[in-house]
Amino acid sequence: MNITEKDSYRTDSNRPRLLLSRIFLAAQYTFYPQLLWHVCVQSRKAAKQFYSGADWTEGSLAVLRSLENVGINFEITGMKNICSFDGPAVFIGNHMSALETFVLPCIVQPLKPVTFVVKRSLIDTPVFKHLMRSRDPITVGRTNPREDLKAVLDEGPKKLQAGTSIIIFPQSTRSVVFKPEEFNTLGVKLASRNGVPVVPFALKTDAWGVGKYLKDFGPVDKKKKVHFTFGEPMMIEGRGTKEHEKIIRFIQGKLEEWDQEERESLSV
């Protein structure tokens, strides 16, 4: 099933889990081998310099299914807002774990051709580099805000004019705790200067934890539901202060709602 066929997607509660996942108590022991297999397969395709948007969607969906295989439940809403307008957009949201980098493509790409703003080091990481380079992302250093602003404002218009939307995580690093003061206006400025809408999104992806020794390979918690939701597109007026604050309120409100839902489910 294509998860973008409707406005929302929820993991089937009757979906059977992978046999090995039922045997091993820790989900990461069966998830990460699946993840590495998918990454290697997709990376080999990308290394041959023929890696389409459909390939990217397929690989991303395979990761989502692998998470479901080990017992992770997804809830994705607001997908109608992604395709409620013509042309590209800037997608702006919070950044919590490695999960969204792998899964967002199978949500957005089928509806809008898209790429990411990513940390420059990712395009040189073994195995991942072929995948990252194939999507022609905008790269930033994450150490000098002025340089990052210049890179995004120089490269972003080229992507948008070609019809490619851009996903931006304005936080300097991934964090389970959302801090508005660390949420910069880079995406708002890009959208404003190019006359394209912003689509805010909020996510809760701490089911994929941060590793003690390898940051991207942490515990996988089946008790935590994965949430993605997309808000209504908005055009930026003036300096975009009002819209930036609206994006922050949207994310904060959703995180509070999901945290409350999680507390209630754990207390039952």
Q: What is the pLDDT of residues 133-151, one digit of tens each?
A: 899 999 998 778 888 889 9
- Report residue 213 as tokens: 């020794």
Q: What is the average per-residue pLDDT within 182-192? A: 95
Q: What is the average per-residue pLDDT within 164-183? A: 93
- What pLDDT shows up at residue 110? 96
- How far is residue 29's CA from residue 34's CA, in Å, rounded to a whole number? 9
Is pLDDT larger for residue 28 or for residue 240?
Answer: 240
- How far is residue 140's CA from residue 122's CA, in Å, rounded to a whole number? 10
Cα–chain center distance at 183: 16
- What pLDDT shows up at residue 251? 98
Residue 49 has pLDDT above 90, yes or no: no
